[in-house]
């Protein structure tokens, strides 16, 4: 029986799927682009249509179409497979056994997802009844259109159920057959201490569902309905659950990601309403953090989509602080950061309500972040020279992390003019700081290659496998030599046995790499990766480069033999040492003789 993995891979072309995320250009028989998994300026991310794999020669990430979706969407294998199955028009429920060999029984996450979906629908419906109408009025008053309310799936959480218990959602979900445990695990209901009663977490609140990058609801952000007398904060959120990890989520991301890719930038806002109204005004590349400051994990997610971050936080103290923090983090990640200055007391929602065009224009006229801080400090302010110097020192600390040298130099110059000291003074200070920092913090380590530390023999063995995979005709010419080779790497050994089994049955004149298929997905991927590396070095056309390949094959064999001999010599030396300790003269002599032979072989 065919597996879902096979069918998915048959129906979907890895280059097309990847092209939905990464801009690819032709590079010989492969496609090439900037790696979405690490930051780079020259593309080392390759996608092979023929081998149906991707591989980054910069950071070592690689795999097939399923691996790619796992990595880029942050899904596990099963989830990625389902997503792709849907895209390929396959019904995954028809496949009895999942790729991992386990049965596809609905897991915990699946139940939570269904509960969250049912919860969302429940809240949405409430907008048309009783108290919910007040919420709807409020949203209309903030200039939200019905379309936006639909698109962002806004809703209302009622105060109580029909009997007056604060558990309207809970009874609804129970009625749908969800267990109390599942309902609590989804985060929208909690159990009161020492009591049997379950209580809805959100009551009398406007509900903003928070979704993952695929648009599946994972939690909620709930705003108090103006006029209600709750003791709790204006906003409360779903607490951390197995699906809701606020540090890795953005509000509105699933609706923004397409625009983020197309415009090559992301606009970071503070509030949920800001995001919705921004989308409503046509600025759809806007998202907000979920009740947290912008963190490293979120920036990593963003980096997969764009390198340009535009911050639009309030101009109040908190807003400036947040902007500064975000800037430092983003600069550290090498992002290009711009800012949209917003007047104190205003928020994006107000601006859009007033004039939707105006917001779009403000986004277009975004400013350099360094310039924003510069103006914030010096523009329209009368400062004493001392005050200026203190300010300059503060700004210098910030400007030290601007990744662009050109921009940095521009602002150091302006700073020097403002405080009337030579520019060199600031450069010297930056250098001093860097020296100091180096003593304490290590510079960021280079992305770790997955290959790790391999012995030279294993690298040579892999190269041999890559060569016969790309140039299978060579196998027949060197069959004897291959058979004599004892592979050190277990994986290479298994790959070689598979290749041999296939090639032994074929005629040398007709054989093509495409005919070599492996039973194990793991081996298939490994071979493709090795073969891609060979292809990158030797060129894509097997007929054109056969001579080069044959030459390399010979070199590899020779080097492998030498490695083998060196290992032997090493072993012999150890044995000789042991024999000398034991005073075994006969043994010593015979070992020395063997050592001589081996040494001669090596020198040959």
Whole-number minimum distance, CB 306 to Zn ion, in Å?
16
The interface region with Zn ion, picked from 27-35, 187-195, 554-562, 570-578 by CB under 5 A, is 27-35
Q: What residues between 244 and 273 interact with Zn ion by CB under 5 A?
A: none
40 contacts 120 by C-beta, under 8 angstroms: no
Whole-number minimum distance, CB 319 to Zn ion, in Å?
35
The interface region with Zn ion, picked from 22-30, 36-44, 319-327, 450-458 by CB under 5 A, is 36-44
Of the residues 38, 39, 114, 297, which one makes contact with Zn ion according to CB under 5 A: 38
Please report whether residue 37 would count as binding Zn ion according to CB under 5 A. yes
The helix (H) or strand (E) run that includes residue 207 is strand 205-211
Cα separation of 533 and 547, whole Å?
Answer: 18
Compute the Cα dihedral for 77, 83, 88, 89 and give only its sign: positive
Please report whether residue 68 would count as binding Zn ion according to CB under 5 A. no
Cα separation of 293 and 189, whole Å?
Answer: 26
Largest CA distance in the chain: 102
The interface region with Zn ion, picked from 52-60, 176-184, 312-320, 571-579 by CB under 5 A, is 52-60
Structure tokens at 516: 């070599």
Residue for token pair 């299978």: 472
Between residues 272 and 306, which has the closer beta carbon with respect to Zn ion?
306
Between residues 58 and 155, which has the closer beta carbon with respect to Zn ion?
58
The interface region with Zn ion, picked from 55-63, 344-352, 406-414, 473-481 by CB under 5 A, is 55-63
How many residues make contact with Zn ion (CB under 5 A)? 6
Please report whether residue 47 would count as binding Zn ion according to CB under 5 A. no
Whole-number minimum distance, CB 36 to Zn ion, in Å?
8
Of the residues 14, 59, 256, 534, which one makes contact with Zn ion according to CB under 5 A: 59
Structure tokens at 204: 């009398």
Phi, psi of 208 (to 5 degrees): -110, 105
Q: What residues between 83 and 112 interact with Zn ion by CB under 5 A?
A: none
Whole-number minimum distance, CB 22 to Zn ion, in Å?
10
Between residues 37 and 305, which has the closer beta carbon with respect to Zn ion?
37
Between residues 58 and 466, which has the closer beta carbon with respect to Zn ion?
58
| DSSP letter assigned to residue 246 | G
Between residues 59 and 259, which has the closer beta carbon with respect to Zn ion?
59
Of the residues 12, 18, 31, 35, which one makes contact with Zn ion according to CB under 5 A: 35
Whole-number minimum distance, CB 72 to Zn ion, in Å?
12
Between residues 450 and 590, which has the closer beta carbon with respect to Zn ion?
450
Please report whether residue 58 would count as binding Zn ion according to CB under 5 A. yes
Between residues 58 and 271, which has the closer beta carbon with respect to Zn ion?
58
Between residues 367 and 536, which has the closer beta carbon with respect to Zn ion?
536
In angstroms, the Cα distances linking 500 to 465, 503, 505 are 11, 5, 9
Please report whether residue 39 would count as binding Zn ion according to CB under 5 A. no
Between residues 36 and 219, which has the closer beta carbon with respect to Zn ion?
36
Cα separation of 59 and 431, whole Å?
Answer: 30
Phi, psi of 353 (to 5 degrees): -60, -40
* Closest residue by Cα to residue 530 from 27, 21, 57: 57
Whole-number minimum distance, CB 14 to Zn ion, in Å?
16
Please report whether residue 22 would count as binding Zn ion according to CB under 5 A. no
Cα separation of 62 and 526, whole Å?
Answer: 9
241 contacts 186 by C-beta, under 8 angstroms: yes
Burial 34-46 (b: 16+ CB within 10 A, else e): bbbbbeeeebbbb
Cα separation of 458 and 478, whole Å?
Answer: 19
Please report whether residue 56 would count as binding Zn ion according to CB under 5 A. yes
Cα separation of 105 and 109, whole Å?
Answer: 11
- Binding footprint of Zn ion on the chain (CB under 5 A): 35, 37-38, 56, 58-59
């Amino acid at each position: 029986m065919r597996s879902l993995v096979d069918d998915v891979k048959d129906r979907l072309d890895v280059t097309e799927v990847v092209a939905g995320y990464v801009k690819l250009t032709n590079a010989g028989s492969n496609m090439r682009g900037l790696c979405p998994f690490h930051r780079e300026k020259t593309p080392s991310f390759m996608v092979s249509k023929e081998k149906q794999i991707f591989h980054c020669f910069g950071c070592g990430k690689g795999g097939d179409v399923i691996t790619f979706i796992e990595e880029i969407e942050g899904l596990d294998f099963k989830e990625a497979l389902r997503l792709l199955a849907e895209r390929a028009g396959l019904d995954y429920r028809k496949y009895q056994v999942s790729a991992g060999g386990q049965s596809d029984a609905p897991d915990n996450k699946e139940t939570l997802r269904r509960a969250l979906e049912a919860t969302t629908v429940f809240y949405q419906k409430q907008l048309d009844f009783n108290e919910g109408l007040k919420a709807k009025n409020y949203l209309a008053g903030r200039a939200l259109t019905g379309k936006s309310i639909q698109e962002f799936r806004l809703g209302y959480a009622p105060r109580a159920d029909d009997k007056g218990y604060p558990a309207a959602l809970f009874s609804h979900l129970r009625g749908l057959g969800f267990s109390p445990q599942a309902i609590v695990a989804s985060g929208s209901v909690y159990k009161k201490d020492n009591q049997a009663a379950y209580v809805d977490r959100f009551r009398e609140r406007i509900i903003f569902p928070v979704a993952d990058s695929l648009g599946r609801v994972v939690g909620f952000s709930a705003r108090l309905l103006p006029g209600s007398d709750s003791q709790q904060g204006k906003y409360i959120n779903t607490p951390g659950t197995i699906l809701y990890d606020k540090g890795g989520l953005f509000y509105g991301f699933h609706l923004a990601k397409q625009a983020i890719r197309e415009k090559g930038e992301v606009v970071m806002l503070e509030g949920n309403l800001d995001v919705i109204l921004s989308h409503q005004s046509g600025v759809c590349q806007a998202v907000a953090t979920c009740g947290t400051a912008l963190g490293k994990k979120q920036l990593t997610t963003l980096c997969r989509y764009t390198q340009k971050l535009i911050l639009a936080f309030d101009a109040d103290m908190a807003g400036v602080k947040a902007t500064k923090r975000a800037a430092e983090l983003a600069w550290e990640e090498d992002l290009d950061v711009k800012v949209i200055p917003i007047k104190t007391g205003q928020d994006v929602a107000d601006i859009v309500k007033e004039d939707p065009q105006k917001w779009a224009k403000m986004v277009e006229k975004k400013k350099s972040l360094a310039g924003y801080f510069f103006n914030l400090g010096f523009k329209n302010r009368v400062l004493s020279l001392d005050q200026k110097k203190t300010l300059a020192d503060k700004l210098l600390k910030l400007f030290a992390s601007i990744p662009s040298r050109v921009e940095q130099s521009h602002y150091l110059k302006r700073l020097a003019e403002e405080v009337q000291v030579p520019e060199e003074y600031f450069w010297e200070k930056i250098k001093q700081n860097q020296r100091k920092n180096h003593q304490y913090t290590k510079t960021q380590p280079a992305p770790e290659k997955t290959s790790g530390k391999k012995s030279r023999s294993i690298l040579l063995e892999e190269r041999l496998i890559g060569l016969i995979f790309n140039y299978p005709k060579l196998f027949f010419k060197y069959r004897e030599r291959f058979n004599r080779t004892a592979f050190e790497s277990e994986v290479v050994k298994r790959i070689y046995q598979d290749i041999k089994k296939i090639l032994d049955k074929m005629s040398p004149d007709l054989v093509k790499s495409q005919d070599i298929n492996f039973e194990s997905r793991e081996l298939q991927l490994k071979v493709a990766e090795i073969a891609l590396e060979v292809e990158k070095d030797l060129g894509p056309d097997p007929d054109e480069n056969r001579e080069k390949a044959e030459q390399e094959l010979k070199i590899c064999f020779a080097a492998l033999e030498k490695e083998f001999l060196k290992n032997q010599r090493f072993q012999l030396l150890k044995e000789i040492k042991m024999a000398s300790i034991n005073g075994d003269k006969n043994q010593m002599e015979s070992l020395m003789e063997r050592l001589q032979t081996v040494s001669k072989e090596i020198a040959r």
